[in-house]
A and B are shown apart, each in its own frame.
Chain A
């Protein structure tokens, strides 16, 4: 799968207080890292809805980074623990969908850890490069039937769940 010219697209969800500031620090300290990551700011890693990750992958991202404050240092006291638990469940779901574990990574970076964050970004990019493109959005195009099948499943599910009033 690995291809030298393959440049993965990575979406990063970084918390406002620690990891976004770590990325700022990496900038101020000119710590070079891979340009593949594109950062979206959220107030807390606990804000990261698993559907954000799925959406990013569905729209063509090859990998996703979720970054927050270190456990015990969350600016919202303990919300990164919730991110941690959600992440475990998300990984489980992704595995079931055939997405390799290393494509979606959870990273802790304090506002002082520009170096560590830059290294984590490079690591993630290297991991995804080794895995090759995910190509979810391409799959939708190639296989229209699969898409319809999925839509049918959703429809059936909704019907089954409907409670008569």
Chain B
């Protein structure tokens, strides 16, 4: 209950803070009350981002974050009442009135509320997703344990994410300092609702009916990776929210051409850039439309100048920090340009693994392939049932609607081409255009319904097809509720949850919790388990590389070597309490997503050739499915007895 209250207060305070700025930018009252609430909350997020950014490098704990929260609440209080009465009240009253007289609309609202609230509550489940355990959650947890923001350079050799845009990781830091990981996940879930609401707002702004708008929100929330990520601290959903809000702001600017709306557009683009590096190609995707509007449509200069200027201003601190720390404002991207003498990062991850090919036909066929053959050609069943592919093209049955969507279609098209050729082709990286696709799909489904509803033969076939899609996607949505709600509501222990719930190569919950419970203050442990799980102690670990080696990957792409004697000296000096090693890993990237477990060869991890003869003679003090913990003093004692390797 306290977690839900925290999330509600968080939303209200940020919306109130953002309301001050949004009201100033919208003096002419062009925004509807609903739109103003959405832009206010999104703008208010900057307060947490810059607050944590300004304080966290000096001190990050419950005291400083509590003071930050107190200041934000006190600042928001005078605005809160005004905002609640003016915008929330009117919006809810109007929605309720409309839903009362329309059964379909009421059902759609119930579905949206059900899916949305379920996803938010699922956030209270223990973190279980690979990327969050690896860095979205574990890096902020590292900072909390350290007491200030710092890049764990040694660990970053594997992820290179320590200097990524931090809009959402600062939210996570704020939540972890004051509450727990569950609340951090719930805060991220709020951005799913924000994206769904913004999709509905854009649909309404494009003169679609309220049913189409709510259907668009539902179709977005029901995308498999959306409903899954909403209960995690991964950032794709927040990225989608800021992106669709940028589209909404730009659509509003096209209608009214005011400087203030251009500035709000810039704020939303800036937030997208501060959420994920894919924000840069997304921002660039607006380029052709902005140029067209200025030089062909003869619209005024405000969006052309004010939008990019505002976006640039808000990202300057991030760029400056990265430039000061690494010489590369976009670190780790484009490192060959900014630091030509240093290694290039993410080069190999691009073009690898995904997509059947890079030809023009592959580009055209990509939506078909990632919807119909996701296991064979892309990164798995990320979307669920192919309702977007089935419904989006149907929008051509309503030509006036399709024409209104044309400007947004250019953004979708440019971003899609960039995603296909220049980004890692994970389907979830299309998140910024997913709310827009949901609008297209809602408009398409409605257009075909209008066309077939008088047709005796086609009507039942269409209803049956939609019914199958609905049932299939409900299974994807429902399964996450079935998995995460029992533990979120306290009906299942975290141990049982982790033992039953698969995640890529496990959350290491058992082994990490064993270390966390038994490691005494001042003690260190040595780990070669990668990725380093959120559940393990974050600061007291030596993760494959000792402190003086931690930045090796900044200078070379060849990991450093260490001879046995040096390793022994280091190990004895550190007097590690535990040695933590991987024992198996799991792969699911196959046609059926069936887990294939493979034993780890000790020679594959650093120092495995030194440790393997010792570990083979010892019993682990704790063993999980994929990792084992060995007693440090026993390992060190046996290492001393080893004949020195050649």
- Do A and B pair up? The answer is no
